[in-house]
Amino acid sequence: MAIYIVRHGMDNENYRGGWSDSGLIEEGMEQAKLLANYLSDNKEKYSINKIISSDLRRAVETAKEIESKLNIPVKYCSDWREINNGVLAGMDNKDALIKYPGLFFNTLDMSERYPNGESPSEFYNRIQSTFLELCNNISTGMEEDNVMILTHGGVINVLYYILNNMKWTNKSPKLSKTSTTGMHKIEHVEGKWKIVMSNSVEHLHYYSEI
């Protein structure tokens, strides 16, 4: 039993992310295509049976490239979104610094919400609940195994803390790199879900090496 966690392709970093619905930049589309081709050429290695994706545009565009190559319909789910950063979503970084000086994810208190958005605590609880439900459904046979999740960097960081049974706050350091289109693999081993592959970007170099 395996779960593959994948971050979306590269988007425009000049704007605040979160619930921004901006899409991939050209390099991000190329990353998504390379990943899709790689997965198609290595179907037996990964044996993906189901794809679940955040419904934010940058994840959707990444998922659609994979869907087209693997012929597996994508299920879109808002529970896998990045933190809801409310009024800052999609805002130009320069404008955000002027209108909301000092307001960043790691400057919030755990229970403090972004204006019109979500608190770090609410974000964590959403991801924990969604992930544990998926794990339970797979381990009990209610859900197909070998599932791929298309999501976001902040989500992946939270998952690492959950899987390592460590306390997470919005000030906690990253436990793994979360490169755009980087793949992380979780396996069910001896009754527990364990990380067995972190941030693989083999697909970005695969075709230049063969």
- Domain residue extents for the chain: 2-208
Strand locations in 83-176, DSSP E? Answer: 147-151
Q: How far apart are CA 180 and CA 126, in angstroms?
A: 22
pLDDT at residue number 206: 86
| Residue 187 pLDDT grade (very low, low, confident, very high; cuts 50, 70, 90) | very high
pLDDT digits (tens, 9 = 90+) for 55-70: 999 999 999 999 999 9
Confidence class of residue 139 from pLDDT cuts 50, 70 and 90?
A: confident
The residues that are catalytic are 8, 82
- Coil, strand or helix at 167: coil
Local structure of residue 162 (DSSP, 8 states): H
pLDDT one-digit tens code per residue, 11-23: 999 999 999 999 9
113 known ligand binder: no
What are the tens digits of pLDDT across the range 165-178? 999 999 999 999 99
Classify 96 as helix, strand or coil: helix
Question: CA angle, 62 as apex, 59 and 63 as ends, to 5°?
Answer: 85
Report CA 13 to chain centroid distance, whole Å.
Answer: 16
Rounded to an integer, the average pLDDT of 27-38 is 98
Please name the amino acid found at residue 188: H
- CATH for 2-208, among 3.40.920.10, 3.10.580.10, 3.40.50.1240, 3.30.1390.10? 3.40.50.1240
- Of the two residues 130 and 139, the one the predictor is more confident about is 130
**Global confidence as pTM:** 0.95
Does 210 have pLDDT greater than 70? no
Beta carbons within 8 Å of 161's beta carbon, 6+ residues apart: 167, 168, 172, 175
Q: How many CB atoms lie under 10 A from the CB of residue 98? A: 9
